[in-house]
Amino acid sequence: MIGLISATAAGAAARDRLAAAWPDRTRVYEGPVGDAVRTAFAQCEQLVCFLATGAVVRLVAPLLSGKTEDPGVVCVDEGGRFAVSLLGGHAGGANELAREVGEVLGAEPVVTTATDAVDLPGLDTLGLPVEGDVAGVSRALLDGEAVALRAEVPWPLPPLPVAEEGPYTIRLTDRLVTAAEREVVLRPPTLVVGVGASKGAPTEEVLGLVGDALREAGLSVASVAELATVDAKAGEAGIVEAARRLGVPLVTYSAEELAGVDVPNPSDAPLAAVGTPSVAEAAALVGGGELLVPKRKSAASPAMATCAVVRRPGRGRLAVVGLGPGARDLLTPRAQAELRRASVLVGLDQYVDQIRDLLRPGTRVLESGLGAEEERARTAVEEARKGQAVALIGSGDAGVYAMASPALAEASDDIDVVGVPGVTAALAAGAILGAPLGHDHVSISLSDLHTPWEVIERRVRAAAEADIVVTFYNPRSRGRDWQLPKALGILAEHRTPATPVGVVRNASRPDESSRLTTLGSLDPATVDMMTVVTVGNTATRDIAGRMVTPRGYRWQSAQEGSE
């Protein structure tokens, strides 16, 4: 919950705007400001104070406990011009909160955390348990000193300016190790603990067994991702409470699923009790991985719990990102976030140039020229399989005549894939022309590089006969100049010469140009590969110089009846 505190009428007005925007996230604290701050500080994860920073410093100073315990605090000035991340920038989420408050109130977020100031991801913001010399290693990264990354297990980290060797180290491991001097240890959630238990097994017995198994195997409890068991034990109090205390989810599987998992130590006892010859080992191994701790029983007599530990391989992450038609303000916030998250960027060189300034320091860029789409797709998938966080970029929407389809054809279920939509060329052109896509429409590429012309022609003819608005991608190049006239001729068999046609070149870019013409007047020689051609249907009209396709034919009938 976010506590909101104000002292003046202007502050209360801004406070109420924020409360209205986030009704489920915020709570307004009334009364004397000092009392309100003390109460909110104790009750909330974050605070937004519509007060001077000096006043807030004095009010919260006696309340501070520590970096990991204190809430994040953001101050908004009386004029609503700035949202200042004052306390808990990383651990308390105040930096991100300042940005969110800024978006709602139109204020400029002020973030002074050193890593954020130079666009480096904070080591304590990676979503992983962190130990060791965070301040020292972060300072080394900021100062450009050599920091080595020792990844003992693969995990998709964001870009970090690391070296092969250096006096400082970031160690990525699930082993039970103590951070050395000048070292930070990051704990990825790679371990799955399978658990079986008799009815009424005590929580302490389950926890003791899990703790002993991890410790003796030299594994860190901070890297446990989940407890896993059979459906029949989903409500077993000792297992449920053990998962709660460990702070991990309890995942359950049916007996049939577990019975199909090959395990080294099957047993008749669980088969008779719950219908599978293995619970602990099978539940841990369902998702694959390396069995680090075979089934073992608790030390109690009689033993009421069993466990097994598996290391699942870190899954790489592939984000297929649409960059939009070219204008920076048409690049979505989600796309920008994925570009900043990626440690490896793969893309066409000219698209990389468009967004190179958005990449964080340390991002590895793999770029290539035109015609290497399948090679780029393979490269992106290969990098993700190495455990990297990869962004594969394409113009417009990555799923429309772009990189998503070749990438997903290469990818299997051993990596995570995220699609990030983008504004397509057809949509960008449509917005420039007016509303040509107001009813059913189709996009057709006239490039026969990957698709035989016979197939393209059949699709154009079907769209013509169905009276559907058509947007042509890749309409004409120097070596391919007859396809557009042929396609327009097919449409002309079903539409009048007066049918509106919109022609947009380099939509949304500085050299954008557009014109509205007709099917009978369009000169194909004026069109190139940077152009999108939209041909209306029989209902499309030129209204005040704008291309408009009505949502339904009733609109057309009413218009014609009034003429």
What does the alpha-carbon distance between residue 80 and residue 563 come to, in Å, rounded to a whole number?
Answer: 54
The predicted model scores a pTM of 0.74
- Per-residue pLDDT tens digits of the chain, which is 563 residues long: 999 999 888 888 999 999 999 999 999 999 999 999 999 999 999 999 999 999 999 999 999 888 778 999 999 988 889 999 999 888 788 888 999 999 999 999 998 876 666 667 788 878 889 999 988 998 888 888 899 999 998 888 888 888 889 999 999 999 999 999 999 999 999 999 999 999 999 999 999 999 999 999 999 999 999 999 999 999 999 999 999 999 999 999 999 999 999 999 888 887 878 888 999 999 999 988 999 999 999 988 899 999 999 998 888 999 999 999 989 999 999 999 999 999 999 999 999 999 999 998 889 999 998 878 899 999 999 999 988 999 999 999 999 988 999 999 988 888 999 999 999 999 999 999 999 999 999 999 999 888 899 999 999 999 999 999 999 999 998 888 899 999 999 999 999 999 999 999 999 988 999 999 999 999 999 999 999 999 999 999 999 999 999 987 565 555 554 44
The answer to whether the CB of 548 falls within 8 A of the CB of 541 is: yes
For residue 380, which of 344, 338, 422, 420 has the smallest C-alpha distance? 344
Directed axis angle between helix 483-492 and helix 453-465, to 10°?
A: 30
The answer to whether the CB of 88 falls within 8 A of the CB of 94 is: yes
Instruction: Indicate the residue type of 331.
Output: L
Q: pLDDT of 42-75, one tens digit each?
A: 999 999 999 999 999 999 999 988 877 899 999 9
pLDDT of amino acid 563? 46
Decide: helix, strand or coil at residue 436: coil
Instruction: Indicate the residue type of 381.
Output: V
- Which letter does DSSP use for residue 82 in this model? E
Structure tokens at 22: 């986030």
